[in-house]
Amino acid sequence: MRKQQTIKHETKITGIGLHSGKKVTIKLKPAVENSGVQFVRVDLPHIPTIRFKPNSVVSTKLSTTIGENGVVVRTVEHLVAALWALKIDNVLVEINNEEIPIMDGSASPFVYIIKNAGIRKQDKPKPMLILKKAVYIRENGKFVAMVPDRGFKVSYAINFNHSIISRQKMNININEKTFINEISSARTFGFLEDVEYLQSHSLALGGSLDNAVVVDKYKILNEDGLRYEDEFVRHKILDAIGDISQLWYDIRGRFIAYKSGHTLNNKIAKKLIEYPDAWCLVNQTAKEDFVLQGVNLQKEFNF
């Protein structure tokens, strides 16, 4: 049976916030069963806590921001993607500022500290969300869907009007091994003209060639070039895994996207909750799956 998991030991990492430009330290601590991924703002009075779930997402502009009662944590997507892919179901994330550090622009540093912290199995089973029907959204030439499949797979395509990126697509079965080897080290990317504009408006203040792939009109500005020929679409998949992990459950289904981003990723997660006939929840066992009767995700996520 797949049991819930947390980390064995406390671990921490320090870096710079991509948009705030501020130095920030996060500590990962073991957490109890069924508590999920909780962010704790230790720098604020009363030490407020925000659980990562669909209705905690308050902004998808340039990154995924969660919040509650005016308290926010920004740019959570790379960290939560690593936690979900490594099957860390319950963890406390203590943070002493408003934004998760960007590190090198990928999820690899978070994979590293999670692996070093170790993984501890817990007693309660981890339910799986199984897609039974397709749920999809089309908006302004963009498309995102979640459809039935045997495992958790991602099919993603991007299409930029730029000679360096152009059209890229990837189909991949996501598990711990493929996430670590094929997805986790893909870095966030941006265009030089956009970075200059954002920084003039007090955004992307921590952005640099050390934590992002930057492209001008003709070339990649990073001296070492790309980590993968199709690093751009791989990073989009990384972001999507982070955004979909707000559902908390293991997923049996395929995530399909064309030119999607944080906004559509968040919308499809919320839409899935609103259509309970499109999925079922089961407890995973070695021989068979047992349907969990009477589970109401809208109630659980406070919709």
Tokens standing for residue 46: 């009363």
Give, for 125, the enclosing helix (H) or strand (E): strand 119-125
Per-residue DSSP letters for 167-195?
EEEEEEE-SHHHIIIIITTPPPEEEHHHH
| Residue 142: closest CA among 124, 158, 122, 120 | 158
Q: What is the CA radius of gyration of the chain?
A: 19
Q: Is residue 201 among the annotated active site residues?
A: no
> With contact defined as beta carbons under 8 Å apart, do 36 and 52 qualify?
yes
HSE of 285, CA atoms in CB hemisphere, 13 A? 8
Instruction: Determine the Cα–Cα distance for residues 235 and 232; give it in Å rounded to an integer.
Output: 5
| Residue 235: closest CA among 54, 105, 53, 90 | 105
Q: What is the dihedral of CA 146, 276, 49, 52, to 10 degrees?
A: -10
> With contact defined as beta carbons under 8 Å apart, do 132 and 280 qualify?
yes
Which residues touch 272 (CB under 8 Å, ≥6 apart)?
Answer: 135, 146, 247, 278, 279
> With contact defined as beta carbons under 8 Å apart, do 90 and 33 qualify?
yes
From 19, 78, 235, 262, active-site residue: 262
- Number of Cβ within 10 Å of residue 45's Cβ equals 6
> With contact defined as beta carbons under 8 Å apart, do 188 and 198 qualify?
no
- Eight-state DSSP code of residue 80: H
Could you list the active site residues?
Answer: 262
